[in-house]
Amino acid sequence: MMNMDKAVGDIVLLVLRDGMPLQGLGIRQKKIYVRVQGHDPIGLWIELPEYQLPQLAHSSEGPAREVTAVGCALAPWSVVESIVHFPDLEGFDFPHPEVDSLGFKVG
């Protein structure tokens, strides 16, 4: 039996339910590779790489800035169809994953 604690810090394939349930976060794919940051009774905490943060005040830098791995987002268990973990696959473990398309880009 799988223990989610063993997936924290690793790359997993996250399969979402139909209907783009996380499109508000910019996730439009049904299947995405993400790094698990943690989990709780509500859902799975996933890393947000290259997430675009809006400027809160007028700035000469423009309307948005790119911040890499600023934090994580909650994917509620109700939107998760399946999680595929690769615990013994070299390259999918922390701290050096070898996945070209880790996560997603907003924009």
Q: Which CATH number fits domain 4-85: 3.10.450, 2.30.30, 2.60.120, 2.115.10?
A: 2.30.30
Residue 106 is predicted with a pLDDT of 38
Q: Give tens-digit pLDDT for 32-71.
A: 888 899 999 999 999 876 666 555 555 566 665 555 445 6
Q: Give tens-digit pLDDT for 3-36.
A: 889 888 888 889 999 887 888 777 888 888 888 9
Provide the whole-model pTM: 0.69
Parse the chain into domains and list their residue ranges: 4-85
**Euclidean distance between CA atoms 90 and 69, whole angstroms:** 22
